[in-house]
Amino acid sequence: MLAVKGIYKSGQLILKEKVPFTEAITKIVTFLEEPKKLPPSKLDLTQFSFTQSREILKNVKGSLSDALIEERLRAL
């Protein structure tokens, strides 16, 4: 068994040392740190209703994006 340090970043494992293997081999990767906990999602998709969102937005004339920008500019 051979142990080699490396960094896992953006879905790739980058080894800090060259390894002497030229063919495909079985590996075991052990992460020495615990992953950071992601904050819980504020949008509960089980409570989402397309019909409700259409009802809420029925009085919005034009683009929802434009309406949000205008609302936030007024809040400043």
Q: What is the pLDDT of residues 12-55, one digit of tens each?
A: 999 999 998 889 999 899 998 888 887 777 777 777 788 888 88
Q: Is the pTM of this model over 0.75?
A: no
Question: Is 17 within the bounds of a domain?
Answer: yes
Residue 60 CB contacts under 8 Å (≥ 6 apart), including other chains: 67
Residue at 61 is within a domain: yes
DSSP 8-state secondary structure symbol assigned to residue 63: -
Q: Which domain holds residue 66?
A: 6-33+44-75
The residue type found at 5 is K
Residue 38 placed within a domain = no
Phi, psi of 74 (to 5 degrees): -65, -30
14 touches 6 (CB < 8 A): yes
* Distance (Å, whole) CA 56 – CA 68: 14
pLDDT at 62: 81
- Asked, for residue 55, whether it belongs to a domain, the answer is yes
The answer as to whether 57 is a domain residue is yes
Between 60 and 30, name the one with better pLDDT: 30
Task: Count how many domains the chain has.
Answer: 1
Inform me whether the pLDDT recorded for 68 exceeds 90: no
Q: Return the pLDDT at 65.
A: 85
**Which residue shows structure tokens 């992953």?**
35
